[in-house]
Structure 1
Amino acid sequence: MASQQIDFDNLGFNYIKTDYRYLSYWKEGDWDDGALVTDNQLHISEGSTALHYGQQCFEGLKAYRCKDGSINIFRPDQNALRMQRSCSRLLMPLVPVEVFVEACRKVVQANEHFIPPYGSGGALYLRPFLIGVGHNIGVKTATEFLFSIYCVPVGDYFKGGLTPHQFLVSDYDRAAPNGTGAIKTGGNYAASLAPSAEAKQRQFTDCIYLDSLTHSKIEEVGSANFFAITEENEFITPGSSSVLPGITLSSLKDIAQSSLGMEVIEGDIFIDDLGKYKEAGACGTAAVITPIGCIEYQDNFHIFHSLKSVGPVTQRLYRELTGIQSGDIEAPGEWIVKV
């Protein structure tokens, strides 16, 4: 699909084939030089460990068109580091941070005409992934690996602005203690499909997972991180080794502390103590922030700020973060890579 045929004002979060993607192979202890390719079909062995044993991980990040026409990639080094942690846990070779970041730059530059214009609410979503390939049969690490990055233009998750959403507490467990909950591997998401579908069948946006050990504390929201704002104006997130360390969440913590002057806490958020919190939300790369208006737990409904409007703290966090991403607000430190 040519970029001129894309309706940038009405983009969703759907696959659109772009012109180029980055591809690199690991074999006999080394990565090759990598290259941009046009073929969007992968050709791998039927014995690939990614297919049979789930030996794979992935990332998600975005590039944004700025008002002056320049391009921002948001914190790719943090995605590179998180992918390295995933690879270490899954016995896969690490992609060097500088290689990862430069590959992102190349993909964005080669597909620049697919980036939604400034002010459209859209962005160019990048999907880096690393999979075990080669001719394998036993349960062991692969003999070869493939690293790739492709991109897709995506729209503003919130059509018409921020809107409160309703969530259902799931009876399913997302991740076991000391399991793979803290890494971004596909198996975690495969396990989430059924509980998410059940929540949506009941007209909820998605489900909320409690800790699998005690079923008393909030851990994650669907495939996103959870945060809440206390009555004392503190920003709190679940402190759990089973939670995926989110880059959007990390950024919101910094903004809450430095720009809003809030105390940031990682701690227990008990499902029976929701009255302590005046606002709540889910956050991640795709939606940035999904405001939570209501949570249903055991047939009881807890409403936060409102079912119709978004709380003032959540609104400010969203404006600050999206302003940094689009270049309207000066970014802290090394948050932005220019293309």
Structure 2
Amino acid sequence: MEDPKLDWDALGFNYRKTDLRYVCHWRDGQWQTGYLTEDNQLHLSEGSTALHYGQQCFEGMKAYRCKDGSINLFRPDRNAERMKRSCARLLMPTVSAEHFIDACKQVVCANERFLPPYGSASSLYLRPFVIGVGDNIGIRTAPEFIFCVFCVPVGPLFKGGLQPSNFVISDYDRAAPNGTGAAKVGGNYAASLLPGTEARAANFADCIYLDPMTHTKIEEVGSANFFAITHDNTFVAPRSPSVLQGITRASLLELASSRLGLRTVEDDVYIDNLSAYKEAGACGTAAVITPIGGIQYGGRLHVFHSEHEVGPFTQRLYAELMGIQMGDIEAPAGWVEKCDCPAPQ
């Protein structure tokens, strides 16, 4: 098929229908044979548990075109394992890593014409998800499930790419203590819609959530993970049972240590101790890295490195991570899965 003739460098983080998506049904105690379909509409029972009780989870990952024309999937095994944990938390059947990765590769190859070219600021975003469906009304696990993967060509989540943004501390909680904060489930994100909208109305990029138990420690940045770098060059990621274990977060922890020589810790980040950090950022599959210029808290804006310039460690981490994802820098063992698509007919 012909090129979709998109302006690859001007894509936002928006939905766009692509050619094919993967769908697989769980019935009679097992996953059935999956298939690719042009239909981007799911047909559900009105009693589906996904609609009434939030029994669903999802993942986010990206495919990248490399300089040599090959296609990289970045750490899909980690996404597969996290989806297993999310499914288990919500009493849904798990999808094996082999099934998950194969479905993702099928979707990438079926929509290769939507994969942005090497050197653009864009990538092909994959959205795998599992939902509870079937006729039901009681509060129980669903009688049937759907596993689906679709893709969308996207640009950066935050406008402007790698530029500092300011954030505000939210009075809302993202997730309950001992709740589903560590699982990638829709309810966590639905709860963030109002706080995020209020933050943007006040001219901030998004809000930052504190721990729900004491409201003294930073946990998450909108729909992304938080990190900070101390004045003595320690990379810190918040430690909490309700923080989502992000793949980008885990990758930055490793790269900060192995490639930048920083000490790394997962520890509490107290909101009243922001002066201990010289740089801070938000990280995730969609955001990649968004430098945090300042955090509004207690009536004042605490600025880290700068509101206008990216800190040197954040810049190096971004370059290292993107270089690995795009195939320009050697990846640590097991980080990249090649997607070998058949030549177009």
Task: Give the TM-score range, shorter chain.
Answer: over 0.9
Q: Which residue of 1 aligns with 2:148?
A: 148
Distance 1:161 1:186 in 2: 26
User: Residue 189 in 1 paired to residue 189 in 2?
Assistant: yes
The equivalent of 1:43 in structure 2 is 43
Aligned residues: 339
Deviations 1:43-79 (A, max 9, x none): 0100100000000000000000000111001111100
- 2:284 maps to a residue whose letter is G
Q: What is residue 215 of structure 1 aligned with on the other side? A: 215
Equivalents in 1 of 2:179, 2:4: separation in Å? 45
CA gap of 1:140–1:158, structure 2 versus 1, over 3 A, is closer
Corresponding letter in the other structure for 1:235: F
Write the mapping of 1:1-339 to structure 2, written as runs, cut at 5 A: 3-157=3-157, 161-339=161-339
Identity across matched positions, percent: 66
Aligned partner of residue 184 in structure 1, secondary structure: coil
Measure how far apart 1:216 and its partner are: 0.4
CA distance in 1 between partners of 2:302 and 2:2 (Å): 46
Structure 1: how far apart are the matches of 2:7 and 2:17? 14
Over 2 Å off, 4+ runs: 1-5, 156-161
Please state how far the C-alpha of 1:10 moved relative to its aligned partner. 1.2
State whether residues 224 and 287 of structure 2, in contact with CA within 8 Å, keep that contact through their aligned partners in structure 1. no
| d(CA) in 1 for partners of 2:244, 2:141 | 23
Q: Which position in structure 1 is the counterpart of 2:342?
A: none
Larger deviation, residues 4-13 vs 114-123: 4-13
The alpha carbon displacement at 1:242 in A equals 0.5
Give the stretch that moved more between structures: 219-228 or 156-165: 156-165
Aligned mates of 1:73, 1:2 — CA distance in 2: 23
Q: Tell me, what secondary structure is at the counterpart of 1:88?
A: helix
Taking only aligned residues, the RMSD between alpha carbons, in angstroms, comes to 1.2
Aligned-pair CA distance for 1:5 = 3.0
Q: Distance in 2 between matches of 1:118 and 1:160?
A: 19
Distance (Å, rounded) in 1 between the aligned partners of 2:6 and 2:111: 13
Q: State the one-letter code of the partner of 1:129.
A: F
Letter in 2 for 1:267: D
In 1, Cα distance between equivalents of 2:55 and 2:26: 14
| Aligned CA distance change for structure 1 residues 335 and 234 (closer, same or farther; 3 Å) | same
Amino acid at match of 2:246: G
Structure 2 CA distance, aligned partners of 1:120 and 1:208?
Answer: 30
- How much does 1:223 deviate? 0.6
Note if contact 2:161-2:290 (Cα within 8 Å) is conserved in structure 1: no
Residues 166-212 of structure 1: per-residue CA shift (max 9 Å, x gap): 00000001111100000000000000000000100000000000001
SS at match of 1:253: helix
Partner Cα distance (2:202, 2:173) in 1: 19
Name the TM-score, length of structure 1 as normaliser: 0.98
Distance in 1 (alpha carbons) for counterparts of 2:155 and 2:195: 26
Deviates more, 1:292-301 or 1:126-135: 292-301
What is the CA distance between 1:160 and its match in structure 2? 5.4
Q: CA deviation at 1:306?
A: 0.5
**Deviation of 1:33 (Å):** 1.5
Alpha-carbon spacing, 1:329–1:304, altered in 2? closer, same or farther (3 Å): same
Q: CA deviation at 1:2?
A: 6.6
Distance 1:161 1:140, change over 3 A: closer
Q: Are the aligned partners of 2:47 and 2:137 in contact in 1 as well (CA < 8 Å)? A: yes
Match of 2:343 in 1: none
**Counterpart AA for 2:31:** W
Q: How far off is 1:28 after superposition? A: 1.2
Question: How many Å separate the matches in 1 of 2:203 and 2:175?
Answer: 24
* Aligned residue type for 1:299: G
The residue type paired with residue 262 of structure 1 is: L
| Of 161-170 and 320-329, the range deviating more from structure 2 | 161-170
Change (3 A) 1:30 1:219: same
Q: Quote how far apart the aligned CAs of 1:295 are.
A: 0.3
Letter in 1 for 2:328: D
Q: Distance in 2 between matches of 1:2 and 1:145?
A: 35
Q: Is the 8 A contact 2:58 2:129 kept in 1?
A: yes
**For residues 178 and 14 of structure 1, what CA distance do their matches in structure 2 show?**
32
Q: Which runs of no fewer than 5 residues in structure 1 stay unpaired?
A: none
Residue 95 of structure 1: CA displacement? 0.2
Any idea what SS the aligned residue of 2:45 has?
coil
